[in-house]
Structure 1
Amino acid sequence: MSFKPLFSRALSLAPGRLHFAAHSHHLWPDVSHEAQMRAWDDAMRHADRKWDLVFGEVIPEAQGHVAHELGLPSPDSVVFAPNTHDLLLRLVSGVERKPVRILSTDGEFHSFRRQAERWEEVGEVVVDRVPLEPFDSFAARFLAAARAGSFDLIFISQVFFRTGGLFDGLADLAALAGPAGPWVVVDGYHGFMATTTDLSDVADRVFYLAGGYKYAMSGEGVCFLHAPPGFAPRPVVTGWFAEFGDLEGPPGGVGYRTDGGRFWGATFDASALYRFNAVRRMLDEAGLTTADVSAHALSLQRRFGAAVGAGACGPLGSAEVLNPIREGEGRARFLALRHPDAPRWRADLLERNVITDVREDVIRFGFGLYQDEADVDALIAACAGLD
């Protein structure tokens, strides 16, 4: 089945392009354009009173969509920001002991990696990094380190951005978490709306960071944090939006909301939330769940992966598939192939108007609703022509 009519605007603007970077910059559905226009109209119609509408209707709807997707007990635990880096800064600022002792991996995305390295340079944090490789033993090694250490914060990806590997030990990590530490923070950017995610059993003990740039199909500016009650009650980095609502704090001191709103920042562009809400309504109206979208993407992954394995994709057959398809497992929405020639392959495909992306020596092919089998066949043909 083809879902291309949902993306007619994006596809018509670049009709000759094969876009296999759904894991990187997902194309936007038509409803997002309508939502963007509505955000403009609402801003001009309501002017100074726009924020009453945003906080009274737009944000609660978006919180409800996130809570439903993740199995959260309350939408009030969700707060939004333009990017996950903003939320990371606020969260880590809430650790009162310095330097902050962090357990993480050598495979985290750059928003955490770069910031952590800079914090280390000035002595604000100490980071223990568990290597992802060898992959088969990673989860056991990471959990052993978490149990053996005395950490303030444990930061780990749900799906690793470079390799596509999934971490399946979240329940074990959550068992270690507590308001006094460690705080468990999950980077869910490559998991949210990419693979079915149920946090209902751990929502009271873990933070979850994600956003809409990729699989939520909503573009930039709609990132969020789920914050468990009682954890990080008074982040030092704080915006003035966090002082609206039921506040707690020392007499004469700075007050904070007790729900996820304690992590609010300041004035932001709300149009991304309009887009996110429109996309979620579109999926509901089409009867599409994350499981359904994942199944569609997986069928395309299988088709392409089988061609790679059969030698039908030219030199790609010599690459190491870092996240091979294993039936019955949750997985990334992309295939990651490691080879020294990956950057050159990506450049050659770009010349053929085939969009992928590369991370060092790993080329990634992402799959989504706006592709069909004919697109995959065209991708296979393009790869077959590579040197």
Structure 2
Amino acid sequence: MSFKRLFSRALGAAPGRLHFAAHSHHLWPDASFAGQMQAWEDAAVLADHKWERIFAEVVPEAQRHIARELVLPDPATIAFSPNTHDFVVRIFSALPVQRPRVLASDGEFHSFRRQSLRWAEAGRIDLVTVPLDRLVETAEVGGFDLIFTSQVQFNSGRALDAIDRLAALARPDGPWVVIDGYHGFMAIPTDLSAVASRVFYLAGGYKYAMAGEGVCFMHAPPGFGPRPEITGWYAAFDDLAAQQGGIGFAPDGRRFLGSTFDATGLFRFNAVRRMLADEGLTTAAISTHCNGLKARFLAANPLPGLQCISGADARFLALQGETAPAIYDALTRAGVVADLRGDVLRIGFAVYHDAADVDALIARLRL
């Protein structure tokens, strides 16, 4: 089955391209264009008053979409930011200890890895990193103030299958558990209902949510970090018209908000989610579609010199071997967009692919 009609603008913009990097910059569906235009029209018509609509309609709609996707009991626990790094900084600023002891996997994305290493270098945190398969047992030994790990690791596609065990450790006075869900959100069905009161969850629209940049979010469990030290004036937006005195914080996820932001990504995200609902395309349905394409690719075995190291849940294949850089270069010359991380070639599958695309990729690999 093909869903290319939903992506006619992006696919038509580069007809000869084979875009197999949906785990990176996911192509935008046509619905996102309508959302982008709506944001512009609101700014033109409403001007200063656009914020009233954004906070009264656009943000609550986006919160509801995310809460339904993650089975969160309360959409109000969700805050938005242009990137997840903002949230990492605010979470750390809210920790109730001066020099936290932090546990993380050794396969975290660059933004957290770089920031945590710099904090460790400066003596602001005590950082311990372990392989993902040792993370939970290390956390259960105790002695940590914050545990940070990806739901699905960006480089290998390996998935964490014990969020519940980490959540059982979490307390408002520490440790806190932070899940980076960027490669899990809308890539694999995720039910956080049993752990929503204990874990932070970060993700965004750049990848599988198909909404582009600037629309990242965090679910913040109630009672964890009521007064972040790094804070913006939107964290008490309801009190802006009141007499200023003291530093107030919203009681829900808004306590982690920053300041003025570009809300265009929220318009795109809402438009995409409405499109998916109209088409009956759930995350489970898209995953089934993509898994069939992955299986078709693997059955052809076009890269026998590379070892597949990705987990079954990942929306991309992580193929490791010393020839990966040369293969990546050859694919680039052949008009195929893939991705390379060291000696790991990543090939990402999406709802805009069909069997013919996979066959074309295989053919170009065999040239």
Give the TM bin, normalised by the shorter chain.
over 0.9
Match of 1:79 in 2: 79
Output the amino acid matched with 1:151: F
Match of 1:383 in 2: 365
Following superposition, the deviation at residue 179 of structure 1 comes to 0.3
Q: Is the 8 A contact 2:23 2:208 kept in 1?
A: yes
| Unmatched segments (≥5 aa) in structure 2 | none
Out of 167, 172, 176, which is 1:179 matched to?
Answer: 172
Match of 1:340 in 2: 322
Output the amino acid matched with 2:148: F
Match of 2:150 in 1: 157
Match of 1:33 in 2: 33
Q: Is the 8 A contact 1:246 1:257 kept in 2?
A: no
Q: Distance in 1 between matches of 2:35 and 2:250?
A: 30
Match of 2:304 in 1: 317
Following superposition, the deviation at residue 149 of structure 1 comes to 2.6
Q: Distance in 1 between matches of 2:237 and 2:15?
A: 47
SS at structure 2 position matched to 1:244: helix
Output the amino acid matched with 1:198: D
Answer yes or no: is 1:361 the counterpart of 2:343. Answer: yes
Trace 1:1-387 onto structure 2 (pairs within 5 A): 1-132=1-132, 138=133, 141-245=134-238, 253-308=246-301, 313=302, 316-323=303-310, 325=312, 331-385=313-367
Q: Distance in 2 between matches of 1:191 and 1:42?
A: 32
SS at structure 2 position matched to 1:40: helix
Output the amino acid matched with 1:95: L
Q: Distance in 2 between matches of 1:269 and 1:19?
A: 27
Moved more, 168-177 or 91-100: 91-100
Q: Is the 8 A contact 2:325 2:343 kept in 1?
A: yes
Following superposition, the deviation at residue 166 of structure 1 comes to 0.6
Q: Distance in 2 between matches of 1:78 and 1:60?
A: 9
Distance change in 2, residues 1:356/1:38 (3 Å): same
Q: Distance in 1 between matches of 2:246 and 2:342?
A: 48
Moved more, 104-113 or 251-260: 251-260
Q: Is the 8 A contact 2:157 2:311 kept in 1?
A: no
Deviation above 3 Å: which 4+ runs of structure 1? Answer: none
Following superposition, the deviation at residue 80 of structure 1 comes to 0.4
Q: TM-score, normalized by length of structure 1?
A: 0.92
Following superposition, the deviation at residue 253 of structure 1 comes to 3.6
Distance change in 2, residues 1:324/1:176 (3 Å): closer
Q: Distance in 1 between matches of 2:355 and 2:317?
A: 16
Following superposition, the deviation at residue 383 of structure 1 comes to 1.1
Q: Is the 8 A contact 1:319 1:337 kept in 2?
A: yes
Following superposition, the deviation at residue 382 of structure 1 comes to 0.9
Output the amino acid matched with 1:384: R
Q: Distance in 1 between matches of 2:74 and 2:131?
A: 35
Q: Distance in 2 between matches of 1:207 and 1:344?
A: 39
Output the amino acid matched with 1:301: K
Q: Distance in 1 between matches of 2:186 and 2:140?
A: 30
Following superposition, the deviation at residue 324 of structure 1 comes to 5.5
Distance change in 2, residues 1:145/1:246 (3 Å): farther
Moved more, 187-196 or 297-306: 297-306
Match of 1:135 in 2: none
Q: Is the 8 A contact 2:197 2:221 kept in 1?
A: yes
Q: TM-score, normalized by length of structure 2?
A: 0.97
Q: Is the 8 A contact 2:158 2:311 kept in 1?
A: no
Task: Write the deviation string for residues 265-292 of structure 1: whole angstroms up to 9, x where unpaired.
Answer: 0000000000000000000000111000
Task: Write the deviation string for residues 99-142 of structure 1: whole angstroms up to 9, x where unpaired.
Answer: 1110001100011000001101111111110124xxxxx1xx22
Q: CA RMSD in A?
A: 1.3
Q: Is the 8 A contact 2:204 2:215 kept in 1?
A: yes
